[in-house]
Amino acid sequence: MVIAIDKESGRKKWDFLLPAGAGVCAPIITSGGNIIIPAIGSIYALSQNTGDLKWNFKHRGGYNYKAGPLSAAVGDNGNIYFGSSDRFIYAIEGKTGNKVWTVRTGAPVVSAPLISNDGTLYIGSDDGRLYAIATGSSGPAKSPWPMYGQNAQRTNRAPAAK
């Protein structure tokens, strides 16, 4: 279950029940206000304000015994990128959940994706390969979450005081 808590009152704003055994991974929030929830066999997009389901992208990937359900990354073009145990790397539109492209890998994907500042997607598979894929993005999205070290550069250094 996904639960949104009001930051002022601490009260529950909304909840969304996921299927049993969904194996949810860390959510991400897009600049458009959708909460993206990677799970086994699906990626869900929920409205940040209401918890309403915006879309659900289904894929054939299941649970990977080495990595579990994997996280996703969002490019500044709004596309969501993730890998799966079904031996594919996916790019889907963040607004609609429609598939943009897939890349077949030699083994199940076992690492979280990373988008570099030039828009290259890096992701690893179980056979020791690291894939570097041009995405059409020019870098990671300026998203409020997750934000490693609380800054957009994800360097774990506090931004300089102004």
Domain that holds residue 132: 2-141
Looking at the structure of the chain, the number of domains it has is 1
Q: Answer yes or no: is 68 within a domain.
A: yes
Judged against a pLDDT cut of 60, whether residue 162 lies above it is answered with no
Q: Answer yes or no: is 30 within a domain.
A: yes
Q: Answer yes or no: is 17 within a domain.
A: yes
Q: What is the pTM of this model?
A: 0.79
Q: Answer yes or no: is 157 within a domain.
A: no
Which helix (H) or strand (E) covers residue 47, if one does? strand 42-47
How much of the chain, in percent, has pLDDT values that exceed 70? 80
**Average per-residue pLDDT for the chain:** 81
Name 89's bridge partners: 83, 103
Q: Answer yes or no: is 13 within a domain.
A: yes
Residue 70: its pLDDT value, please?
67
Q: Answer yes or no: is 162 within a domain.
A: no
Q: Answer yes or no: is 70 within a domain.
A: yes
CB atoms within 10 A of CB 95: 14
How much of the chain, in percent, has pLDDT values that exceed 90? 34
Which are the contacts of 45, defined by CB distance < 8 A and separation ≥ 6? 34, 35, 36, 37, 53, 54, 55, 56, 94, 97
Q: Would you say 91 and 74 are in contact if contact means Cβ atoms under 8 Å apart?
A: no
Name 36's bridge partners: 28, 45
Q: Tell me which residue of 21, 15, 50, 57 sits closest to 36, measured CA to CA.
A: 57
CATH of the domain at 96: 2.130.10.10
Q: Which residue has the higher pLDDT, 45 or 160?
A: 45
pLDDT digits (tens, 9 = 90+) for 116-159: 888 899 999 889 999 999 988 877 776 554 444 444 454 444 44
Q: Tell me which residue of 160, 83, 162, 97 sits closest to 125, measured CA to CA.
A: 83
Q: Answer yes or no: is 153 within a domain.
A: no
Structure tokens at 99: 């598939």
